[in-house]
Amino acid sequence: MPNLLVKPNRSGPDGQVHDVSPASAQWRYVGFDVYDLAASKTLKRSTGDREALLVFVSGLGSVQAGSYSFPAVGGRLTPFDDAPFSVYLPPRTEFIVTASSQLELAVCSAPAVGKYTPRLIRADEVEKITRGTGTNTRYVCNILPETAEAESLLVVESVTPGGHWSSYPPHKHDTDNLPNESALEETYYHRLSPPQGYGFQRVYTDDRSLDETMAVYDRDVVLVPKGYHPVSSPYGFNLYYLNVMAGPKRIWRFHNERSHEFLVA
């Protein structure tokens, strides 16, 4: 099993900060890249045999995808502001992203055959949800839920206030046992405000054959191949994360750890 904590590489080619592939993660479905593009810089890529969701984490840019043109995408100053703009792309699509300002771009991908066409997902189209109560409260933007058109990808972001927990009570989605639980790989891309802070994420299984607790810093990625994966944000630091999930079936059904089930009873 690979190291579950992936640190950013700030000297990658074309401004690439993260390059998580099925090969590097030693799994089958989820791919996740992050790019930092200065104003006027371009990124040219192809989706290959995968569908992709370009999430404009912060900044403004444009996307050219074949005959499809999306001239003004994004605009929020930080990932802690409102909801993001995104662009969905099917497989076998050549695309060019041009930054109009400093741009933080996440490229989420998963296997697909090509059922849908490119489209813009505006910030005002993204469902916003408040989950939990008390110090379990967090604020969710459902960017690409299972009700939206896609073949494999599920993408969501969340902001957890300082002193709160998230992805809690501990839950997992690593077993193909529908309708009770679905099998989904997952990545967490973490941002902190202020950025010098840190949070914690634990990934563990019932038998504790996997049991890792990680301090996560600004721009770290955590891989969740299986098991429970709660997150905590210390007082004074808000924690953002962008989740990408994919598996054999495009449905999110999770199982709470039994010892914590009373918290939702």
Number of H helices, E strands in the chain: 1, 25
* Torsions phi, psi for 261 (to 5 deg): -60, -30
Say how far residue 11 (Cα) sits from the centre of its chain: 22
Q: Given this model, what pLDDT does residue 265 score?
A: 59
Dmax (CA) of the chain: 53
pLDDT along the chain (265 residues), means of 10: 91 90 98 97 97 98 97 96 97 98 98 97 97 95 97 98 96 96 98 98 97 98 98 97 97 94 80
Tokens of residue 181, six digits = 């639980």
Q: Which residues are within 8 A (CB) of 112 and not within 5 positions of it... i.e. 6 or more apart?
A: 49, 50, 51, 90, 91, 150, 151, 152
Q: Could you give the domains of the chain?
A: 5-264 (2.60.120.10)
Q: Given this model, what pLDDT does residue 1 score?
A: 73
Q: Which amino acid is at 142?
A: N
Tens of pLDDT, residue by residue over 76-97, are 999 999 999 999 999 999 999 9
How far is it, in rounded angstroms, from Cα 146 to Cα 154? 6
User: Could you tell me the CA-to-CA distances from 205 to 51, 121, 174, 189, 255 in Å, in that order?
Assistant: 30, 35, 10, 21, 12
Q: Given this model, what pLDDT does residue 10 score?
A: 81
User: Could you tell me the CA-to-CA distances from 161 to 132, 151, 232 in Å, in that order?
Assistant: 12, 32, 9
How far is it, in rounded angstroms, from Cα 265 to Cα 168? 14
